[in-house]
Structure 1
Amino acid sequence: MKRVKYLVVIFVFAALSTACKTNVGTRNHSNKQDVNVLLQNRYQKLLEYPIDSIGFPRSMSLKTDVIKKVPSKDWTSGFFAGNLWQIYQLTGDARFKERAAAWNAFMEKEKFNGATHDMGFKVFCSFGKGLEVEDNAKYKAIVVKSAETLITRFNKKVGSIRSWDFNKDIWEFPVIIDNMLNLELLFEASKISGDAKFKNIAVQHANTTLKNHFRKDASCYHVVVYDTISGTAKNKVTHQGFKDDSSWARGQSWAVYGFTMCYRYTKDPAYLKQAEATANFFMHNKNMPEDGIPYWDFNDTSIPNAPRDASAAAVMASALIELYKYTNNEAYLNYSNKVIHALSSDKYFLNETVNGPFILDHSTGNWPKKDEIDEPIIYADYYFLEAIIRKNVL
């Protein structure tokens, strides 16, 4: 473990140093110690954030310095603890492990929350990351109980887990591409418990998504609405994208990440094929900026003046490192490296004057609602840290 942590830290220093020499940033650090200071300044901001059972940091306005805080029921609540666990993995500093465990404790009650599909984001991004650090029987029990709660949202006729409960008068049974990431909780619950029912439901959900969410060009829809009587898809729309048939950048990243992860657990070649196809659509899109950080939606008509989405880039960077493991396609690794370097530059990396528990700037949350536009958002940091760690355990 100590050797892995050492290698990860070395890579972070190297990645940031490389970024300083490229045209994706203007920072000129003369040595690794400068980079170390840069990282520690951001890490310290996370450590200083006060423990608050109903104040999980979600995003921040740099114009007002106001931090948006949410309760544990919010889908983003698990990422902050996950970031602390990952910083512990990067640094070996026990303070981050202790603080992560404290935040995890506030998440435990979510194992009973059947009103959301986001159990994986909330529980696995916090307790799951804790399990990467230590063999904790309590955390395992929480994962299994959370999986039990999540599968109550599964509809056998549709073959999917219901995503949202709002808009019931419009959406009979909505399934969003984001839901793919919640399947990891189910796969792990089967491994922990020995009960195959969780994995079987995850596979059914993935197969239904594979069948109905993708277009001929391998891009994906955000929301597919199903008829619960026939089980067929009846509408394909968006909730966070530019328009129904546009390619919302983070949605494409969720798709690649989700199907790559499903391949890890099943070795189904259809999942790997789809992950590669959508990854290629993303990386080679005609509207992809040179630095690899996409506009929030590839079809926004205001491009090149549209907001970027660092979170979509970070999710994709992490996903492609795992995809590289299964394909040995250097293009995936090269893209991930480019993104890590870009996100480590002045343009995206928050400087020491920002007093918030975040690392990256320029993510886009929900453009149609004009919510969290061009701001630091917690899940961008989570997948950025995960990408760095994954890169060094290849």
Structure 2
Amino acid sequence: MAALLLVITLLMTFVDVTAFNVMGYANVQYTILYYQYRDLSFQSFPFIGYLLQTDWISLPILHSFTNGFFSGIFSNLLEFYATQSIFKMAIDLTLPLASVANITDTHDVGFVIMSSFGHGCHLLKLSEYLQIIITAATSLSCRYSPTVQCTRSWDSKEGFLVIIDNMMNLELLFEASNQTCSTDLVPYWDFDAPHNSTISYQSRDTSAAAIFASDLVELSQYVTARETKDYFLTSAKSIVDPLASPTYLILGNKDYVLRAIIVNGTQGPYSEKPYDIATVLGNYYLTQTVLRLFKL
């Protein structure tokens, strides 16, 4: 046991020393680079460099998929050192990239925005950064083809060009979705229903949510692994909480007079409006879920 503890201690020490060595050297090198590019008014950023030459080959701000990584390095340094000087450098190198969010003729917008504004948004929690991420995701989504079911990499003269880098640019779409999607876990009324991002409310299906929550509680009783059981139960509660809130309870709207429990249910593809109604099955499964949770 003593030998094992010694090995673990040595490994931890090695990791700490390595971290400080690498980050310290990066801080020195890139602080020098920061001032070099500041003197150039941040009109271009480093792309590649030849080891026997002192200067990097640089590319204009809007013309390289690597331009976000320069500011991203300073976000890494800021997370490690948390100093005011690095904070300023990170901001100075990130803001010039804002107009990249409006580019629609390449998928590379994902690389640039996520390594700069994406990292910075997680670190600094700036609403301005989040808005740029959302704008960039909208730009990238313009390159999606429902026929191909993929985003187009570049505007080639022939065919629909898709390269493996597409997978990395998907991070931008996921990030924007995670930051803007509803957190109440009540699904939209139909998978194929049109989504209008200009309005705050999209029709939901509380009946489906109630059924799913009930099933999750039941599933939790069939598994023995504590982690899995807790995951099912926590997920069920995360669905029930909004269903039991004024948002979806019928008592949340003084104009509702129907003797029901929850609103915004869905009942089949009928010619008349099949959604935003009360359903007896939705009421049943909500009460069933609550009862099942109560009996645990």
TM-score normalised by the shorter chain: which range applies?
Answer: 0.5 to 0.7
Match for residue 90 of structure 1? 80
User: Equivalents in 1 of 2:51, 2:172: separation in Å?
Assistant: 34
The equivalent of 1:188 in structure 2 is 175
SS at match of 1:175: coil
Q: Deviations over 1:157-214 (max 9, x none)?
A: 0000000124x24xx0111111111111111111222279xxxxxxxxxxxxxxxxxx
Counterpart position of 1:178? 165
Q: Highest Rg: 1 or 2?
A: 2
Q: Equivalent residues in 2 for 1:193-204 (5 A)?
A: 193-194=180-181
**Residue correspondences, number:** 168
Q: Which runs of 5+ in 1 are unaligned?
A: 1-9, 19-34, 197-394
Higher relative contact order (CA 8 A, sep 6+): 1
CA offset at residue 148 of structure 1?
Answer: 0.7
Paired position in structure 2 for 1:45: 29
Quote the RMSD (CA, aligned, Å): 2.5
For the Cα contact (< 8 Å) 2:23–2:77, is it kept in 1? no
Aligned to 1:358: none
* TM-superposed deviation, 1:71: 1.7
Aligned CA distance change for structure 1 residues 37 and 147 (closer, same or farther; 3 Å): closer
* Partner Cα distance (1:11, 1:187) in 2: 35
Deviates more, 1:176-185 or 1:57-66: 57-66
Deviations 1:97-153 (A, max 9, x none): 211111111100011111110111101110011012111111110000111111111
What are the equivalent positions in structure 2 for 1:13-92 lying under 5 Å apart?
Answer: 14-15=14-15, 36=20, 39-49=23-33, 50=35, 51=38, 52-73=41-62, 74-92=64-82
Equivalence for 1:151: 141
Could you tell me whether the CA contact under 8 Å between 1:56 and 1:80 is conserved in 2? yes
* Correspondences of 1:1-394 after superposition (within 5 Å): 14-15=14-15, 36=20, 39-49=23-33, 50=35, 51=38, 52-73=41-62, 74-166=64-156, 168-169=157-158, 172-194=159-181
Identity of matched residues, %:
28
In structure 2, the gaps of 5 or more residues are 1-9, 184-296
CA distances 1:247-275 after superposition (whole Å, capped 9, x unpaired): xxxxxxxxxxxxxxxxxxxxxxxxxxxxx
The structure-2 alpha-carbon separation of the partners of 1:39 and 1:185, relative to structure 1 and needing over 3 Å to count, comes to closer
One-letter amino acid matched to 1:192: Q
| Corresponding letter in the other structure for 1:117 | H
Query: Residues 217-256 of structure 1, C-alpha deviation per residue, up to 9 Å, x if partnerless?
Result: xxxxxxxxxxxxxxxxxxxxxxxxxxxxxxxxxxxxxxxx
Q: CA deviation at 1:66?
A: 2.9
Please report the TM-score for the alignment, with normalisation by the length of structure 2.
Answer: 0.52
Distance (Å, rounded) in 2 between the aligned partners of 1:128 and 1:13: 31
